[in-house]
A and B are shown apart, each in its own frame.
Chain A
Amino acid sequence: MKRCITSALGVAGLLALFGHAALAQATATDPSAAANVYVNAPHNWQMWFPAAGSPMMEKIDWLMKFVLWIMTGVVGFVALLLAYVFIRFRAGRNKVPSTVTHNTLIEVIWIVVPTLLLAVIVIPSINLIYYEADTSNPYLTINVTGHQWYWEYSYPGVAGGLDYTSYMIPDNQIQPGEIRRLSVDHPMVVPAGKKIKFVITSADVLHGFYMPSLGMQRYAIPGTNLTQWTIIPKVGTYYGQCNQICGVGHDAMPIEIKAVPLADYLNWVKYAQANYQ
């Protein structure tokens, strides 16, 4: 698992260098350019989660490993039992079958032991549920609205207001340094290291606000507001995609979040108010 993550970081780093060089010119005036130093995007032959971009994702990563190791143990145990049975009790070797059909002790064991394993899983798991639900005291709240087929981001707390749309860059307009199917025209920009609360809804059909590297996901449901939160400690660019079928453009409404230093964020707000709306 560790090796997967280090290789993930390595590839992401390469991507970041490449992206930085290419974008430097085009976005010289964009205050969010600092986020180009680190790009957290999927890479080919990836076998594990993205590198955790938020404390929430770190916890998810930890619990996933914890549960998966237990379950790997269970699968391995069953596989060993099956292998033993096939070798020891194949017809060629064991000609006369036994007639045993009951053993109360073993039947109690295979009820009690799995129950205990589940209890071991449940305790950290329930903690994680409450951790994920804690949207209290955010530094910044962003309203996220899903549309067919783009996202709308509004920053209700920002002086002067900020509300803009974010479309995927079409395949035939991809510039060097952008990622096909993941890069957008106007990314969401947030201050790094601050708690951000998202209020998620939809203007038409269901959508899914899914940020794998931040460990966030909620449906965008018309008539309902769902909340999520994150803290992104590391300045960089993070990607996600719509994850609830929403019509023919379902695969064409990615999410791009740039975490930048607070000063850059404040500059970006003015920049976005002038250029995005």
Chain B
Amino acid sequence: MTATTHDHSDHSHEAHHQKGFVERWLMSTNHKDIGTLYITMAVIGACVGGVLSIIMRQQLMYPHNNIITSGAAWNAIITAHGLIMIFWFVMPALIGGFGNWFVPMMIGAPDMAFPRLNNMSFWFLAAGFVFVMIGLLLGNGAGAGWTLYPPLDNAQYSPGMATDFSLFSLHLAGISSLLGAINFIATILNMRAPGMTMHKMPLFCWAILVTAFLLLLAIPVLAGAITMLIMDRNFGTSFFEPSGGGDPVLFQHLFWFFGHPEVYIMILPAFGIISHVVSTFSRKPIFGYLGMAYAMVVIGFVGFIVWAHHMFVSAISTDSKVYFEVATLVIAVPTGIKIFSWIATMWGGSIEFKTPMLWAIGFIFLFVIGGATGVVLANAGLDQELHNDYFLIAHFHYVLSMGAAFAVFAGFYYWIGKMTGHPYPEFWGKVHFWTFFIGVNLTFFPMHFLGLAGMPRRYPDYADAFAGWNYVSSIGSIISGVSTLVFFYVLYAVFTSKESLADNYWGEGATTLEWAVPSPAPHHTFEDVPVIR
């Protein structure tokens, strides 16, 4: 793989310094600037969503607690926490952020295929964030849960505009994701450097490509569902209204036809990042590259035909349950391929335990735990007992709050030097990892016990018998919160650092194209088309 010439990049570096703040950040067409905007959005989203989660854990620390006294406020908080963490933290961090920054660089492209569309994607998302915040704060707030099930959020049971704002925020986030997906697909399929065949393409690009197809097929279904909901609320239709011949169960089908691929939309880019980090710090190429790439394709495909496993206690037939259970369990096989291939990549390697690697290892281990409870929940017969209780909450926070979020941090520590040109403080990075690891495990592991004991989700107050583990869990959330302050110190240290970094500061283990350009990556990455091998 070849590097660009430094003269050229220095020149272009100058060119962008001449742009004013408004022109550079509000009218940005550069994939790195837009990536930075997305990451900023993700930091804001994570802070808001995280503060909401700490408020919830404070309320749940003791039974009969009085932090949140209104049920409406509680429901608005749980709804906003879910929506914000998904659409304004995990997705912008992994797809819009790291995807924008590194997909073009990794495939040797000068930028994304449609730079202005790229800018538009970001601002739709930013506008969506304003809307979801209005949904949280206006009146009683939008409080039907992130799954938005009618009839609870129809005009009768959720009057007021807050719910409409939340629904429109999903439209905006959806348009943003859709345009972003189109852009990624066009970029990856058309703009790879000569010699970069699909089967030589880095796994992160494969991950983003599969994710983009999932978005392309799933988002329109969500858009249709929430449009029908908005029509029911405001224009007197009755798509989901039994008294008018509609059916609330239809919404559940439509929502989860989007919602299940959505969980893979959040985790596939994470898989991509983990592959790069594991390979880099083992100083070995990824084991079973083709298996890794096609495992993601299979996960993406099967992810579309398992949606009703979210509805095992809703209105589906017994035979459908059998089908959806078996199809769901099948996903464990390609996921197993990924886990074992990461371990095989480390096998025989020369492993350095730098901060990004710690996050990647944490990801692998905790994701396996979340996957194991996922296999449990896939059993329709067991889901009848565990559906919607804290066992489920524990499961999906193990795969998202520990899976996806750990991958976000792995990517951050891995690439922050490439993005800023400055190293992060290794010691504080490790402090961040260990405190966060302890915090999230203390928060979410006891939730398995609460769920087994039968504690339902979305409760601001619970029977006194659930007090013990709730208290432990709330202590864990405080530790995670403090850990996040350490992360902000790391950010501060990076941006005030005077040290600069070499092109490839991770050494021989890092082989993708972003390591062939200077750190920070110049405003225009490749002045000349790089040739692969």
Contacts and interface: CB of A to CB of B under 8 A. Distances in A.
Interface of A: 41-50, 57, 59-60, 63-64, 67-68, 71-72, 74-75, 78-79, 81-82, 85-86, 89-91, 94-103, 106-107, 110-111, 114-115, 118, 121-122, 125-126, 128-133, 148, 171, 179-182, 204-206, 208, 210, 212-213, 215-219, 221-224, 226, 239-251
B152 A111 contact: no
B381 A60 contact: yes
B348 A243 contact: no
Given A114-B332, A217-B313, A249-B71, A210 B347 contact: no
For the complex, would chain A's binding face be called helix, strand, loop or mixed by DSSP majority?
A: mixed
Contacts of A99: 284-285
Contacts of A86: 346, 351, 353, 361
Q: Which 6 A-B pairs have the closest CB atoms?
A: A223-B242, A248-B71, A212-B454, A128-B381, A98-B348, A71-B372
A161 to B, nearest CB: 25
A221 B70 contact: no
Interface of B: 63-64, 70-72, 74-75, 78, 143-145, 149, 151-152, 157, 242-243, 247-249, 282-289, 291, 313-315, 318, 321-322, 325-326, 329-330, 332-333, 336-337, 339-340, 343-344, 346-353, 361, 364-365, 368-369, 372-373, 375-376, 379-382, 384-385, 387-389, 449, 452-469
A72 B351 contact: no
Contacts of A130: 318
B388 A243 contact: yes
Contacts of A102: 287-288
A248 B372 CA distance: 34
Contact of A222 (B242, B337, B456): B242
A271 to B, nearest CB: 27
B373 A47 contact: no
B391 to A, nearest CB: 10
Contact of A121 (B318, B379, B458): B379
29 contacts: A42-B454, A47-B449, A47-B453, A48-B449, A64-B376, A82-B346, A85-B346, A89-B351, A90-B353, A103-B344, A106-B340, A107-B291, A111-B336, A118-B329, A125-B380, A125-B382, A126-B325, A129-B325, A171-B64, A181-B63, A215-B385, A217-B385, A219-B314, A222-B242, A224-B247, A224-B249, A243-B457, A247-B143, A248-B143
B456 A208 contact: yes
B351 A64 contact: no
B510 to A, nearest CB: 13
A213 B388 contact: no
B462 A251 contact: yes
Contacts of A240: 454
A221 B316 CA distance: 12
B349 A89 contact: yes
Contacts of A106: 340, 344
Contacts of B282: 89, 97
A266 B315 CA distance: 33
Given A114-B336, A218-B313, A244-B388, A101 B75 contact: no
A64 B378 CA distance: 11
A115 B288 CA distance: 19
B452 A49 contact: yes
A212 B248 contact: no
Contacts of B283: 91, 97
Nearest to B314: A219
